[in-house]
Amino acid sequence: MQRTRRGRKGVICQPHESKKHEMQPLSMQLHKEEAMKTLSIPPHALLLLVALIALGTLTACQPVQPVAAQPAAQSTLATGRVFIQNANLPGRVLVSARGNHFLISSAPPLGHPAEEINPVEAMLAALATCGIFVHETAAIEHGIPLSHASMVVQADWDVRGLRGEDFDPHMQQIRLHLTLDGPNAAQIDALEVEFINRCPIYTTLVRAAEIQISANEEAMGAKMAEELATTVISATLTNQPGRAIVGVRNNLLVVDSVPPLGSPSEETNPFDLFLAAQGSCGSLIMQKAALDNGMALSDVAGTVEADFDPRGVRGEAISPHIQAMRVHWLVAGVDEAQAEMLVDEWLRRCPIYNTLIRATDITVSYEVVEGAIAMPE
C-alpha cells in the first residue's frame, strides 16, 4: 500500500477524490477550523454562493477541467532527482545522481562518527558551491576580474531535535563569508546581487532562515546562541572552469557547476547535493529509529525530486527557487504501522526537512515493499 502526505507553507486545494490519500498537518486542520468559526456570510451572499456552486462556476478544491481547444502550455521547470539507499554500512547511505555515486554519513547525535560528509554539511556545501559558481559565471558575463573565489558557510541549529528531544531542529541562521580576489568593492556588490537572485539553493533557503553575507575584510557574523550547534563547510573554485572543491572536516569533495551556468556538470553538482541532503537525512533517521525500537528494517530507499525554473539561474528576471519537492520512500522488513512511525520520526527530527518545509511545498509518500529494493532506471 502506498500512502501520501503533503507538507505546505500555505493551504493548497486538492481534488476531493484524493483526500483519502492525504494526511494534512495538524496546523492546517486547525487553520481550517478557525476559519469556519470566524467566517460570517450574509444570507443573500450565501444564496449566491450556493447558486454558483450548483452552476459549476465556483469550484473550490475541485479538479480543473481542461479546455479541449487550448493546448497545454509548455512547462519551463526543470526537475532534479537523486536516489538514496542503505549502503549496508552502519550509519552510511549511498547516493546516486545522474550516474554519479557518493556516500553520506550519519551525524554523531545519531550515534555514528560521521566519517563522510553528513546531510547538514551536504546542504551547506550545495549553497556554497552554487554561490561561487554564480560568482564565477557572472564575473565572466560582466567582465569583472576574478582570480579566486571561496566561501565559508556556517549554520546554527538545535541538535537536540535530531536526537529526538522536543526541539525544532531547523536551521535558525546561516552565515556566508566570501573571499574574492580581483573585483573592487562595487564589483563585489554587483556579484552578490547576481548570487542572491540566481542561485536556486540561496533563493530557497532564504525563505526558511536568516542568511547573512560578508566578504573579504568584512567580519563574519557570530553564532546566534550558545545552546545551538554550528556546522561549518568551505568551498573553493579550482583552476578548472565550473569545478570546485568542498572541504568538510577531513573530507574533500569535487563539485561541478550546473548546465544553466554553462557547465557540463560531469561530477556531482550543487542541486544533487541539496536533494541528497534531504534524502540521506531521512534514511539515516529511519535506520536509527528502527534500531532503537527493535524493528526488523531490512532496507530503506528514497527518491527525491525538486522543480525549479532554470531561466532564473541563467540570469533572467525569474526566481529560480525550488517550487515543489517530492520524496517517495520504499521501506522493507516492517509493517504499515512501523513504516508510518519511521516516516514520522524523519519528519519530526530531520533538520533538512524542517528547514525546507518552511520554504517550499513538500509531498511525502511511502510504501512497504517485500524483498530487495532495486535502483530505478
Parallel, antiparallel, or unpaired: how do β-strands 2-7 and 148-157 relate?
A: unpaired
Q: Are the CB atoms for 357 and 309 separated by under 8 Å?
A: no
Most confident option among 12-26, 158-172, 259-273: 158-172
**pLDDT band with cut points at 50, 70 and 90 for residue 268:** very high
Res 327 pLDDT > 50: yes
- pLDDT above 70 covers what percent of the chain? 80
pLDDT confidence of residue 262: 85
Closest CA to 100 of 261, 276, 220: 276
Please, what is the average pLDDT of the chain?
A: 84
Cell, residue 210? 536568516
Q: Which of 123, 115, 120 is nearest to 91 (CA)?
A: 115
Pairwise CA distance, residues 178 & 191, whole Å: 11
Q: How confident is the model at residue 374 (pLDDT cuts 50, 70, 90)?
A: confident
Which of 327, 324, 128 is closest to 117 using CA atoms? 128
Residue 65 banded pLDDT, cuts 50, 70, 90: very low
Higher pLDDT, 7 or 346: 346
Top-confidence residue, 18 or 168: 168
Q: Looking at residue 35, what is its pLDDT?
A: 39
How much is the pLDDT for 369? 95
Per-residue pLDDT, 375: 80
- With bands split at pLDDT 50, 70 and 90, how would you rate the model's confidence at 31? very low
DSSP assigned state of 108: G
- Binning pLDDT at 50, 70 and 90, where does residue 72 land? very low
pLDDT of residue 334: 97
- Give pLDDT tens digits for 340-365: 999 999 999 999 999 999 999 999 99
Q: What pLDDT does 20 receive?
A: 28
Supply 264's cell numbers. 557540463
Q: How confident is the model at residue 2 (pLDDT cuts 50, 70, 90)?
A: low
Band of pLDDT at residue 29, cut at 50, 70 and 90:
very low
pLDDT band at 112 (very low <50, low <70, confident <90, very high): confident
Which pLDDT score is estimated for 67?
33
As a whole number of angstroms, the distance between CA 184 and CA 192 comes to: 12
Helical H segments across the chain, by residue range: 26-38, 43-55, 119-141, 159-163, 185-198, 200-205, 270-292, 310-313, 336-349, 351-356
**Three-state SS for 291?**
helix
Q: What is the largest CA-CA distance in the chain?
A: 72
The three cell numbers of residue 157 are 541549529
Grid cell in block for residue 45? 451572499
The tens digit of pLDDT for each residue in 163-215 reads 999 999 999 999 999 999 999 999 999 999 999 999 999 999 999 999 999 99
Q: What is the pLDDT of residue 46?
A: 45
User: Which three cell numbers mark 152?
Assistant: 565559508
Q: Where are the domains of the chain?
A: 78-369
In this predicted model, what pLDDT tens digit does every residue of 114-161 receive, in sequence order?
Answer: 789 999 999 999 999 999 999 999 999 999 999 999 999 999 999 999
Q: What pLDDT, on a 0 to 100 scale, did the predictor assign at position 37?
A: 38
Q: Is 285 helix (H, G, I), strand (E, B) or coil?
A: helix
Q: What pLDDT is recorded for position 74?
A: 58
- CATH assignment, 78-369: 3.30.300.20
Q: What is the mean pLDDT of residues 306-334?
A: 97
Q: Check residue 113 and give its pLDDT.
A: 75
pLDDT at 4 over 80: no
pLDDT, average across residues 254-275: 93
Instruction: Decide: helix, strand or coil at residue 356.
Output: helix
* Segment 283-310 mean pLDDT: 96
**Radius of gyration of the CA atoms of the chain, in A:** 22
Quick one: pLDDT at residue 42? 52
Find the mean pLDDT for residues 42-67: 41
Binning the chain into helix, strand and coil, the percentages to the nearest 5 are 35, 30, 35
